[in-house]
Structure 1
Amino acid sequence: MSQELKDWQAQRHAELSGPDSWLGMQGLFWLEPGENRVGSSENCRVQLPSGPAHLGDLIWAGELLSWQPLAGSARELQTDRSGQPSAVDHENLSFFIVDREGRLAARVRDRDWAARQPFAGLSYFPAAAEWAIEAEWQVLAPPLSMEVPNVTGELKTVLVSHKAVFNVAGQYVELLPMSVGEHEVFFVFRDRTSGKETYGAGRFLKVLPAVDGKIRLDFNHAYNPPCAFTPFATCPLPPPENWLPFAVPAGEMKPGA
């Protein structure tokens, strides 16, 4: 195993075992325009697992979202639409707002989660050089408009301008990216290990951008989506075009494997 792959696996472990891990998520609560009560009471739209019956209110007015605690001054909150969202902390609890195609939801996290159940770690297939594949990066003309579902059943329209094309054991394969950025290209895929050795809803893969019409797909870096660790994530699902007709025994295995 290369040092680069060892470092990546160590980073994954640190991310999932830390206080801000997906394993610490305690709830996902969809907001309504207007006032949204936050607290441990049953009549709160955002229900905290502990703390005051009424901690404060999230106020959604048009494009603005603000937090009004019962004790203290109001402040405007940023969602995750354009980067790191604003967090509201109370003792061991923290919550922040996610924007999903104009719908807002509060994600509640317990930052002390590991004290109750420490992270058991991840399992991986043995590193395999044959699963670091150099693919052709071909232009789609015209671009493809693709409806991508997430685990909640909602659809997001993705405009795809390129595809990765490669061969495995004589089989011609195409993978469509979910997003193409300046620093990385993001794929969501399924294969014949899905639901067996790996997470049933598929896996994620991030790679460096293409160079000179080639893109390197290193499936040793395939990893579980957040929804493999918590029901409070809204992960995209692989489109049918990205259902590979063979097993990819590389990268992360399903949690607990």
Structure 2
Amino acid sequence: MVSFAQQWATWHDEHERRRAAPHGFLAITGLHWLTETPQRFPDAPGEWRAEPDAVVAVLESGERRFPAGQDTMVEHGDLRLEVAWRGGHGVLRPRDPHHATRVRYLGTPAYTPDEKWAVPGRFVPFDAPRPVTVGSVVEGLEDVYESPGRIEFTVGGEDLSLTAFNGGTPGSLFVLFTDATSGITTYPANRSLSIAAPAPDGSVVVDFNRATNLPCAYTEFATCPLPPAENRLPIAVEAGEQLPR
């Protein structure tokens, strides 16, 4: 039988593999905010500008348009060019597998997995999904996420809750949070935790052992969201990923 620690190690090894992928976030070489004035950048080919409804790139192969609101990856030799929209602004982020941040990456330490941090909880849906405005590690940038409800749980006799957002698969959830370890042993701005879809009775497992760093812990070229104020936990969550090496 595979132990809890072995399951965690397999999961974290795969998470590290994705993080250090050739064109993952560690490969980003710049964060370029686009305007209506055409611009050229030292780490990307062509000329780039933003229009109200699209990002426009003039490349050797001709002009390309990328519709507003959609994130797109464009391949160019060894590079991948990420065209994205953040806070209503067009953004270009080149990704180069030879970038020093990726090449020199030494891995991310984590607390020793402990089943006591796989906490039973309950998903409490709102009467209707609520828009929640969150800040960003980029000053002045905000995003609005839809929250279907909150997750309630108890740690050390203390009743706690976290505002949840919709996850990447149907019914799943994720939370952004900080806690009393933030800025000491863990990344100060945020950590993220995915949670499987609630059971029919609303029960969930909040496994803090699988709390992970967002890209902003590794690169200045990220636009990661910050947790809503109510997700600043007063306890020390000594589980999950720690400060990167």
The equivalent position to 2:184 in structure 1, one of 191, 196, 201, is 196
Cα 1:74–1:159 shift into 2, 3 Å: closer
Cα separation, 2, equivalents of 1:74 and 1:88? 15
The residue matched to 1:74 in structure 2 has which SS? strand
Question: 2:93 matched to 1:107?
Answer: yes
Inter-CA distance 3–94: structure 2 relative to 1 (3 Å threshold):
same
Is 1:178 aligned with 2:165?
yes
**1:210–1:224 CA distance, 2 compared to 1 (3 A):** same
The more displaced of 112-121 and 239-248 is 112-121
CA distance in 2, matches of 1:202, 1:167: 21
TM-superposed deviation, 1:61: 3.6
What amino acid is the match of 1:166? F
Equivalent residue for 1:43? Answer: none
1:211 counterpart SS class:
coil
| Greater relative contact order, per chain length (Cα 8 Å cut-off, separation 6+) | 2
Taking the aligned partners of 2:66 and 2:143, their CA distance within structure 1 comes to 24
* Partner in structure 1 of residue 30 of structure 2: 27
User: Is the counterpart of residue 86 in structure 1 residue 89 in structure 2?
Assistant: no
Q: What is the aligned residue count?
A: 239
Structure 2 portions without partners, runs of 5+: none
Structure 1's consecutive aligned runs of 4 or more residues displaced over 6 angstroms after TM superposition are none
1:36 aligned residue? 38
Listed one character per residue, the Cα deviations across residues 143-173 of structure 1 (whole Å, up to 9, x for unaligned) are: 5443211111322233423110011111110
For 1:13, what is the secondary structure of its paired residue? helix
Counterpart Cα distance in 2 of 1:178 and 1:198: 22
Contact 1:16 1:119 in 2 (8 A): no
- Give 2:220's aligned residue: 231
What TM-score does the superposition give when structure 1 sets the normalisation length? 0.84
- CA-based RMSD: 2.3
Displacement of 1:118 in angstroms is 3.0
Residues 145 and 120 of structure 1, relative CA distance in 2, 3 Å threshold: same
- Give the residue type in structure 2 aligned to 1:191: D
Distance 1:164 1:77, change over 3 A: same
Q: Does residue 66 in structure 1 map to residue 66 in structure 2?
A: no
Equivalent-residue separation in structure 1 for 2:49 and 2:90 (angstroms):
11
Question: Partner of 1:167 in structure 2?
Answer: 154
Distance 1:78 1:7 in 2: 38
What is the distance in 2 between the residues matched to 1:109 and 1:103?
Answer: 19
Distance change in 2, residues 1:207/1:190 (3 Å): same
| 1:141 matched residue in structure 2 | 127
Residue in structure 2 matching 1:18, options 12, 18, 21: 21
Find 1:130's aligned residue among 106, 116, 140.
Answer: 116
* Contact 1:27/1:232 (8 A) holds in 2: yes
8 Å contact kept, 1:77–1:86: no
